[in-house]
Amino acid sequence: MPKISPDALRERLAGFPRERLAHLPTPLEPAAGLTRALGGPEIWIKRDDCTGLATGGNKTRKLEFLMGAAVEEGAHGVITFGALQSNHARQTAAAAALLGLSCDLILVTRMGPRESAWFRSGNRLLDKILGARIHPVDDERQAAQQAARLLEEARAQKQNLYVIPVGGSNAVGELGYVDCALELHEQILAGSLNVSNIFHATSSLGTQSGLVVGLAALGSEIDLAGIGVDHRLTPAEQTAEIAQHAQTIAQRLGVPTPADEQIRVDGRQLGEGYGVTTEAALEAIRLAARHQGLLLDPVYTGKAMAGLIEAIRRRELPRDQAVIFLHTGGSAGLFAYRETVEAGLGES
């Protein structure tokens, strides 16, 4: 039985400032071609690549609440952070443009060896088109220094800049994925689906934190599998941080804190680190494209789908229940990894 009704959870979410930016609800659609290619179980795709903001993606849900807070505080602009090819930065730039706010993107450029397209194509090009002010830095220390300079300059000009963390992953942004859990819960009920697992990429941890709180609040027994794509924390450290995030969100909403066993990060698809493509991810990109017409990216969704594929091949999932893949977007990143992806396609 649910610990809180969907209507009650919806009412509590409605108590927070929000700017409507996304095309919601996003579709939950069957992936018959991919199911056939992998020999089951039945796969469904939650299409959060279709949120609609500058090619879409999961960050748009978080930005609805983050931008809501920024507008309520009277912000003139926003500052956020990421790698040079950050999907979050691109969606933040689009949201700021839509709301008439300035946008400063502080982006780390030193991420190990990258092909030349990584420095000028993909999200980097879209950020420029969207009119964001881009501040390249070498590392997180320089990023903090640059943010301090921008905030000082803004104060001198009597301007208020709202700071959004990496990935939009804090107790404000993560409300977007509590809301997604509610949306998904209702779609599952409407479709009479018997779902065993949800798979998704996890990096800055906000998507998973919000989902685990929302699903637990609704009494869902679906196993949520976050596929780790970031090497900065171990899976155990990520699990502990998600638990802290979840506790904060649950307290804000007045719902029970998820149990530790409801939080799981699978690090088997990480490979050599964040943003470094793996053979398994390239295979997942190829299979999803050619059997489902679905575009995945090398950094996030390719690795997440590789996690689902491995779980199927190792027979870790019930064959008689459906599994959901949460597509968090990021296809713009394909253009930043052109040579790598082409080399991994094999014979056409």
Q: Is 16 helix (H, G, I), strand (E, B) or coil?
A: coil
Q: What is the pLDDT of residue 1?
A: 42
Q: What is the pLDDT of residue 159?
A: 97
Contact between 28 and 324 under an 8 Å Cβ cutoff? The reply is: yes
Q: What is the pLDDT of residue 347?
A: 58
Q: What is the pLDDT of residue 267?
A: 96
Kindly give the pairing relationship between strand 28-30 and strand 43-47.
antiparallel
DSSP per-residue codes, 266-303: E-TT-TTSTT---HHHHHHHHHHHHHH-----TTTHHH
192 is catalytic: no
DSSP per-residue codes, 151-169: HHHHHHTT--EEE--GGG-
- Residues of the chain scoring pLDDT < 50: 1
* Domains contained in the chain, CATH given: 6-57+170-344 (3.40.50.1100), 59-168 (3.40.50.1100)
Cα-flanking dihedrals φ and ψ of residue 224, to 5°?
-100, 115
Calpha distance 264→209 (Å, rounded): 11
* Cis status, amide bond into 235, omega within 30 of 0: no
Q: What is the pLDDT of residue 17?
A: 98
Calpha distance 252→172 (Å, rounded): 9
242 to each of 210, 232, 238, how far by Cα in Å? 9, 14, 6
Contact between 304 and 229 under an 8 Å Cβ cutoff? The reply is: yes
Residue of 5, 86, 121, 331 marked catalytic: 86
Tokens of residue 136, six digits:
């390249």
Tokens of residue 118, six digits:
């990584």
79 to each of 76, 86, 91, 282, how far by Cα in Å? 10, 14, 12, 33
Q: What are 201's strand-pairing partners?
A: 227
Report if pTM > 0.85.
yes
323 to each of 51, 196, 265, 320, 329, how far by Cα in Å? 21, 6, 17, 10, 18
Calpha distance 125→19 (Å, rounded): 25
